[in-house]
């Protein structure tokens, strides 16, 4: 199982003067879910090299067993320090792709033509893929083979408007994930704020928030197993 994980390269939280980036739990939990199943994992980002970590995600209140394991893992940290440049990534080299969130992707991955093309390529190849928390927003400009928005008519979830309000960033982010997915025709569904909630519609798997990260990875592994059995 060859898994590609794509992280943001954006580190500025709007004009607040605060830093953002990827959310550590949303990388660490799926990373070890895949790793413990024997997966070969490649980390990539738009700029390559070390992607910015949202400092809040590594504060004591948000540390988990997964984040502590990642922090102590020399191999994982070496991979994080040297992510592959997104433009150099080829869909054909991987079985699946997983997008961790954090606020950073709202600014760069949403607009990134390489990211859009990559998701479209995975979908066209019949490969399942997953995005969690803010990352489902990067589906905004992704289209299906019919030229329509990929999320149109599909069950999808992501960071809710109420969760964004809960962290006080409604007026800071460039767009709200929930509103954007609905505007593109997605059938947005969600569970309680901050609880794990994952939805699968065909090849597309989305998770609502950081707590959904591990479950989204498990569902992706299940989808890969189904594909292998069918193939």
pLDDT at 27: 98
Segment 92-112 mean pLDDT? 98
Q: What's the pLDDT at 54?
A: 98
- Give first-to-last CA distance, the chain, whole Å: 14
Mean pLDDT along residues 64-89: 97
Provide mean pLDDT across the span 201-217: 98
The residues that are catalytic are: 133-134, 164
Q: Rounded distance, CA 128 to CA 121, Å? A: 11
Read off the tokens for 33: 């879910």
**Percent of all residues in the chain with a pLDDT value above 70, rounded to a whole number:** 100
Question: Which structure tokens are listed for 155?
Answer: 């069950």
> pLDDT above 90 covers what percent of the chain?
98
Q: For position 188, what pLDDT does the model report?
A: 98
* pLDDT band at residue 163 under the 50/70/90 scheme: very high
Could you give the CA distance from residue 18 to residue 87 in angstroms, rounded to a whole number? 28
pLDDT tens column, 110-156: 999 999 999 999 999 999 999 999 999 999 999 999 999 999 999 99
Averaged confidence pLDDT in the chain:
97
Q: Rounded to an integer, what distance in angstroms lies between the CA atom of residue 212 and that of residue 196?
A: 4
Residue 109: what pLDDT?
A: 98
Q: Give the pLDDT band (50/70/90) at residue 64.
A: very high
Residues β-bridged to residue 70? none
pLDDT tens track for 108-117: 999 999 999 9
pTM confidence score: 0.98
Q: Are 41 and 29 in contact (CB under 8 A)?
A: no
With beta carbons less than 8 A apart as the criterion, state whether 81 and 150 touch: no
Report the helix count and the strand count for the chain, using DSSP H and E.
Answer: 8, 9
Q: Are strands 129-132 and 204-207 parallel, antiparallel or unpaired?
A: parallel
How much is the pLDDT for 230? Answer: 84
pLDDT in tens, 2-47: 999 999 999 999 999 999 999 999 999 999 999 999 999 999 999 9
pLDDT of residue 118: 98
Q: Which pLDDT value is given to residue 66?
A: 97
- C-alpha–C-alpha distance, residues 192 and 125, integer Å: 34
* pLDDT at 60 > cutoff 80: yes
DSSP lists the bridge partners of residue 143 as: 149
């Amino acid at each position: 199982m060859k898994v590609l994980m794509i992280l943001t390269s954006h580190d500025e939280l709007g004009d607040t003067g605060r830093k953002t980036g990827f959310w550590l739990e949303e990388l660490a939990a799926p990373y070890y879910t895949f790793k413990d199943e024997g997966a070969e994992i490649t980390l990539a980002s738009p700029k390559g090299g070390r992607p910015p970590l949202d400092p809040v995600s590594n504060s004591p209140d948000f540390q988990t067993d997964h984040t502590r394991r990642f922090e102590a893992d020399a191999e994982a940290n070496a991979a994080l320090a040297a992510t592959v440049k997104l433009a150099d990534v080829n869909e054909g080299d991987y079985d699946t792709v997983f997008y961790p969130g954090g606020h950073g992707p709202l600014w760069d991955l949403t607009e990134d033509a390489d990211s859009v093309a990559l998701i479209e390529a995975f979908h066209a190849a019949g490969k399942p893929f997953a995005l969690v928390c803010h990352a489902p927003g990067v589906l905004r400009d992704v289209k299906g083979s019919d030229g329509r928005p990929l999320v149109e008519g599909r069950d999808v979830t992501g960071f809710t408007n109420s969760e964004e309000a809960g962290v006080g960033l409604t007026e800071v982010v460039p767009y709200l994930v929930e509103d954007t997915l609905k505007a593109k025709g997605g059938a947005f569904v969600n569970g309680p704020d901050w609880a794990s909630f994952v939805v699968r519609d065909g090849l597309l798997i989305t998770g609502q928030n950081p707590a959904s990260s591990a479950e989204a990875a498990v569902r992706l592994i299940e989808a890969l197993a189904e594909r292998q059995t069918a193939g």
